[in-house]
Amino acid sequence: MKTHEIRRRFLDHFVRAGHTEVPSASLVLDDPNLLFVNAGMVPFKPYFLGQETPPYATATSIQKCVRTLDIEEVGITTRHNTFFQMAGNFSFGDYFKEGAIRHAWSLLTSSLDDGGFGIDPALLWVTVYLDDDEAYGIWRDVVGVPEERIQRRGMADNYWSMGVPGPCGPCSEIFYDRGPAYGVDGGPEADEDRYIEIWNLVFMQNERGEGTGKDAFEILGPLPKQNIDTGMGVERVAFLLQGVENVYETDLLRPVIDTAERLSGAEYGPDSASDVRFRVIADHARTAYMLISDGVSPGNEGRGYILRRLLRRIVRSVRLLGAAGETMAEFMATVRDAIGPSFPETVSGYERIERIAVAEEAAFLKTLESGTQLFERAAESARRSGAAVLSGQQAFALHDTHGFPIDLTLEMASEAGLQVDEEGFRSLMSEQRARAKADSQAKKHAHADLSVYRDFLDAGETVFTGFTDLTDESRLLGIVSGGEAVAVAREGDEVEFVLDRTPFYAESGGQLGDRGMISTAGFQMRVDDVQKIGKKLWIHKGVLTAGEVEVGQLVTAAVDPEWRKGATQGHSATHLVHAALRQILGPEAVQAGSLNKPGYMRFDFNWSGSIPADVLAQIEEVTNYAVDADYGVNTIETTLDEAKRMGAMALFGENYGSTVRVVEIGGPFSMELCGGTHVSSSAQIGPVSLLGEASVGSGIRRVEAYVGMDAYRHQARERALVSGLATSLKAPADELPDRIAALTAKLREAEKALDSLRAAQLASQAGDLLGSAEDLGGIRFLAHSAPGGAAGDLRTLASDLRGRLGSDAGVVLLTAPGQGKVPFVIAVTPAAQERGLRAGDLVKAISPALGARGGGKADMAQGAGTEPGGIDAAVSALRDAVRDAG
């Protein structure tokens, strides 16, 4: 049974049972506790936490999930993937244990003709929590599972929570027996390789307190409502129903292994030592593909770092299998063809996915090349010192600092006749993981308490009237102050107002919330910010500047018209810039974030490499052409599918409702899904002045611009600057670039001449300086300070002095104090090196006195300090170090 059919049968089964089918959320959600969605219940957390009232009593979904805690273990076990699909059914105060158990058992054991999976009931085992006699009785007496196939397990295995205070409860798991060829008898308690968990039914009935781990927390008491959260692993069921050996050989991942075989010439087989590498490629290629499709780009932190690790492990693994050159495009295309029927939206965005993955591969191939050179230097150093082992510190530095995989380090060391201190490397890796885990725990916290808004959320949505009105009469439904609901607010109080209807725009889509006033004859409140709770409740934040107000009063809500005008200009300008970017750069330039407010806009987009100034000028020109064309701005409310058919752009990582709002500017020029406020026609935006572009992460660029009157003021300042330069240089404005270039060239020539003169003066001193060298036990020691000297000059002079010392053992220290810094160079002759002196090691002797950092090789090292007053102490310390060697 193909994976796509497994998905369809699951959803159809629960829809027939009255559940609402909910589409998968993006892998990236705004959750402070999660890098990625890691369980099917995550999108439903507001309902389980009591923050929002669910719009349905029961639901079903197949949620995209990513778990990356043990990336290094991928491919070793037969059942773990970093990306997986969690099929789930959920009850919010509707059915409970018996209903959940009956639904799961029916789907698993019903015949194929009846829409089930047709699994033999005799192959299924179940586990329940230690004291959950109710679940035990349902399995035994209602479903008919023999007692010998029902096992009780402890809290670590059969009790669920989110890891933070909140809902929790016992769970019951369903296992599939693969048979005696895969392990010993005795059920899940005996062998979880033979008995594979395929379904987990969570009976959410309690509330947990603070604590750590799976079982070190207190159960505070029962929840007001009993809920059901279940999850069936689609990949696990697929590998069992398809009769393959593991999750990597199913119809969604085996094609990637086949591609890896073709590209590498290696063979995948059940006993092959290379199997883990094939599985890593298959797993990581699919996960990377899905992450990029949801808007993640490679980077050095957070989600971007995870994606980068996955892509680099693919490159490493395929090279170790024997492939040469770039392979990523083929892997991404294979994943697209396999997973496309389940996730068609990834196919339409494939060009961007491929471009990002291929760019990261190309960058890492260069890293591998440079890493190889670093390894060779480390290996040569080990051989020179007579060592047969590359230290754990060196291997860790290659891995951590330079991104060089330990697998390649081990392989190359073996070829070079060296061993690697793997224990030392693993120890350093463990320390790093411990630090990362501690940091993660420090950042992890309980969910924000939004219960104060629960009654308001239950009462219904705030009616937003701001698309047509800037002033509206509203009823004050609630006042929140200091995190608590209050009945009255007085002058000076910082408050949050909940209104039944409002013209104020709440921050979203990159547009900041409106500013303005809420008032009656008896009070005034200055609105400084407007936010949304649960996507449907508007919270007006600000300060009561006069009088007092009670809940229930009728009030006047008035948006500052100048603020709104500027905000709409900035938001509409963002759409024009997006369209211009795609027109000039191509369809791969897709939005990755934005911020717009009166007079200013910032736009992030997916793109690799900087944008030349002339191309940026084209983008600015196209944007302002659209302004000058005075395009009409139209808004259309329709279904998501219809909006896509119209050609409207949807953003990665956004979750849209059944009805969406399309903002169209100039017909085909710009058409995007957007809930923001906009101008009536493009001419109302006014001029748009791009300020430049820059990188804000791997594969993401940012442009910033002034809009409207702020753009005019910016251009006026630029014009005044040009006028001032023209007057100073006595040249027309159009000749300024050539005149400035000529002056710059002359300045550079003068600087070169000064550098040459300074270097010649230093060189002329070399003979005199040698005469002042001290004899320290047969080692000539020379220390000299040249205030204001350049670091390059010091290096040249140090090299000259070392050469003049010839076969003598000698150490040279040169410093050049100036402007709070102390550049320095240490040079050591070959004869002094034979006596154990190394320039790189000697840096450590002077660093404390100079407040310095630096390093180098045995013959020469350099660096800089911040303590010019420590030169004498540094010379003394170095003298002692040389004397000790003598």
Q: How confident is the model over 183-212, as pLDDT tens digits?
A: 999 999 999 889 999 999 999 998 888 877
Class of domain 564-717: alpha beta
- Residue 402 has a pLDDT of 63
Q: What is the token pair recorded at 454?
A: 């629960």
Coil, strand or helix: which one is 65?
Answer: strand
State the chain's mean pLDDT as an integer.
88
**For residues 482 and 244, what is the distance between their CA atoms, to the nearest angstrom?**
58
Least reliable range by pLDDT among 178-187, 445-454, 634-643, 823-832: 445-454
Q: Rounded mean pLDDT of 703-725?
A: 92
65 in a known ligand binding site: no
pLDDT at 478 over 50: yes
Kindly compute the dihedral angle of the four CA atoms of residues 403, 286, 357, 326, in this order, to the nearest 10 degrees.
80
Q: Where are the alpha helices (DSSP H) in 110-188?
A: 133-137, 155-158
- Residue 656 has a pLDDT of 63
- Residue 373 has a pLDDT of 76
Distance of CA 320 to the CA centre of its chain: 28
Per-residue confidence band for 436, with pLDDT thresholds at 50, 70 and 90: low
**For residues 555 and 553, what is the distance between their CA atoms, to the nearest angstrom?**
6
571 in a known ligand binding site: yes
Q: Which residue spans within 470-563 are E strands per DSSP?
A: 471-481, 484-486, 488-490, 494-499, 501-502, 516-520, 523-533, 537-550, 554-559
Return the CATH fold of 3-245: BirA Bifunctional Protein; domain 2 (3.30.930)
**For residues 736 and 264, what is the distance between their CA atoms, to the nearest angstrom?**
58
Domains 564-717 and 765-885 fall in the same CATH topology: no
- Residue 401 has a pLDDT of 62
The three-point CA angle 198-203-206 to 5° equals 140
Tens digits of per-residue pLDDT, 250-273? 999 999 999 999 999 999 986 676
Q: Rounded mean pLDDT of 585-591?
A: 86
The larger pLDDT score, comparing residue 302 to residue 488, is at 488
Q: What is the token pair recorded at 238?
A: 């697929």
The larger pLDDT score, comparing residue 561 to residue 320, is at 561
- Residue 730 has a pLDDT of 86
Dihedral sign of CA atoms 81, 83, 214, 161 in order: negative
Least reliable range by pLDDT among 284-293, 351-360, 643-652, 745-754: 643-652
Tens digits of per-residue pLDDT, 124-171? 999 999 999 999 999 999 999 999 999 999 988 999 887 777 788 999
CATH architecture assignment, domain 451-559: Beta Barrel (2.40)
- Residue 453 has a pLDDT of 81
Per-residue confidence band for 878, with pLDDT thresholds at 50, 70 and 90: very high
Residue 876 burial (CB count, 10 A): 14
In the block, which residue shows the tokens 């806009």? 601
In the block, which residue shows the tokens 């890593």? 280
Dihedral-angle region of residue 456 (phi above 0 means left; psi in -120 to 50 means alpha; beta otherwise): alpha
Q: The CATH number of 765-885 is which of 3.40.50.300, 3.10.310.40, 3.40.640.10, 2.40.128.30?
A: 3.10.310.40
Tens digits of per-residue pLDDT, 77-127? 767 789 999 999 999 999 999 999 999 999 999 999 999 999 999 999 999
Tell me which residue of 580, 603, 581 sits closest to 592, measured CA to CA: 603
In the block, which residue shows the tokens 């409702």? 657
Provide the 8-state DSSP code for 92.
E
Dihedral sign of CA atoms 28, 31, 35, 41 in order: negative
Please list the residues that pair with 481 across neighbouring strands.
Answer: 484
Phi, psi dihedral angles at 757 (to 5 degrees): -65, -45
Dihedral sign of CA atoms 871, 873, 879, 882 in order: negative
Please list the residues that pair with 865 across neighbouring strands.
Answer: 822
Tens digits of per-residue pLDDT, 793-814? 788 888 888 988 989 999 999 9
The larger pLDDT score, comparing residue 835 to residue 412, is at 835
pLDDT at 630 over 80: yes
**For residues 127 and 147, what is the distance between their CA atoms, to the nearest angstrom?**
11
Please list the residues that pair with 222 across neighbouring strands.
Answer: 206
Q: Rounded mean pLDDT of 295-317?
A: 85
The three-point CA angle 506-512-515 to 5° equals 75
Q: Rounded mean pLDDT of 699-720?
A: 91
Q: What is the token pair recorded at 16?
A: 């027939």
Least reliable range by pLDDT among 373-377, 514-518, 595-599: 373-377
Q: Rounded mean pLDDT of 535-543?
A: 92
Share of the chain above pLDDT 70, in %: 94
Please list the residues that pair with 633 across neighbouring strands.
Answer: 665
In the block, which residue shows the tokens 């092959």? 272
Per-residue confidence band for 440, with pLDDT thresholds at 50, 70 and 90: very low
Q: Rounded mean pLDDT of 223-247?
A: 91
Q: CA distances (Å), 573 to each of 236, 507, 610, 624, in order?
A: 48, 17, 22, 9
Q: What is the token pair recorded at 872?
A: 């004498």
**For residues 330 and 357, what is the distance between their CA atoms, to the nearest angstrom?**
11
Dihedral-angle region of residue 403 (phi above 0 means left; psi in -120 to 50 means alpha; beta otherwise): left
pLDDT at 577 over 90: yes
Which is it for strands 58-66 and 20-21: parallel, antiparallel or unpaired?
A: parallel
Tens digits of per-residue pLDDT, 649-703? 776 545 566 688 999 999 889 999 999 999 999 999 999 999 999 988 767 889 9
Per-residue confidence band for 448, with pLDDT thresholds at 50, 70 and 90: very low
- Residue 343 has a pLDDT of 92
Q: What is the token pair recorded at 741?
A: 């270039």
- Residue 443 has a pLDDT of 40
Global pTM reads: 0.65
Please list the residues that pair with 660 across neighbouring strands.
Answer: 638
pLDDT at 379 over 70: yes
Share of the chain above pLDDT 90, in %: 53
- Residue 446 has a pLDDT of 42
**Residue 78 one-letter amino acid:** T
The larger pLDDT score, comparing residue 503 to residue 213, is at 503
Give residue limits of the domains in the chain: 3-245, 254-443, 451-559, 564-717, 765-885
Radius of gyration of the chain (CA): 34
Helix (H) or strand (E) holding 783: strand 779-785
Tell me which residue of 281, 280, 294 sits closest to 353, measured CA to CA: 294
- Residue 18 has a pLDDT of 95
Q: Is 754 exposed, middle or buried (0-12, 13-18, 19+ CB in 10 A)?
A: exposed
Q: Are 679 and 572 in contact (CB under 8 A)?
A: yes
The larger pLDDT score, comparing residue 623 to residue 761, is at 623
Q: Are 63 and 42 in contact (CB under 8 A)?
A: yes
Tens digits of per-residue pLDDT, 765-798? 777 788 888 999 899 999 998 887 777 778 888 8
